[in-house]
Amino acid sequence: LTVPLSPRAARTRAALLSAGLDLLVERPVDGIAIDELVATAGVAKGSFFNHFIDKQGFADAVGHAVRSEIETWIARANGSETRPLARLAGGMVAAVAFALLNPRQTIVLARTARGMTLEDHPLNRQLRDDMQAVIEAGLAQPPSLAGAVPFWLGCCNTIVANIVERGVGTEQAGPMLADMLILALRGLGVESAEIAAIADPNLLQRRLAQLVGQAGTEAVAQDGATCLFEDDAFPDG
Partner DNA sequence: TGTACATCAGTGAACGCGCGTTCACTGATGTAC
Asked whether the beta carbons of 103 and 97 are under 8 A apart, the reply is: no
The answer to whether 170 and 204 have CB atoms below 8 angstroms apart is no
Site string for a copy of itself, 42-71 (x = CB under 8 A): ------------------------------
Could you tell me where the DSSP H helices lie in 55-188? 55-78, 84-101, 103-112, 122-136, 145-166, 170-188
Distances, alpha carbon 203 to alpha carbons 92, 98, 183, 196, 200, in Å: 14, 18, 17, 11, 5
Smallest distance, DNA to C-beta of residue 64, A: 18
In 3D space, the residue among 112, 99, 115, 97 whose CA is nearest the CA of residue 23 turns out to be 112
Binding residue for DNA (CB under 7 A) from 46, 115, 138, 167? 46
In the list DNA, a copy of itself, none, the entry touching 45 (Cβ below 5 to 8 angstroms by class) is: DNA
Rounded-to-integer distance, Cα 46 and Cα 178, Å: 49
176 interacts with a copy of itself by CB under 8 A: yes
Q: Tell me the number of residues near a copy of itself by CB under 8 A.
A: 37
Among 57, 79, 143, 213, binds a copy of itself (CB under 8 A): 143
**What, of a copy of itself, DNA, none, does residue 115 touch, CB below 5 to 8 Å by kind?**
a copy of itself
125 binds, among a copy of itself, DNA, none (CB under 5 to 8 A by kind): none
Contact residues toward DNA (CB under 7 A) are 5-9, 11-13, 32-35, 43-51, 54-55
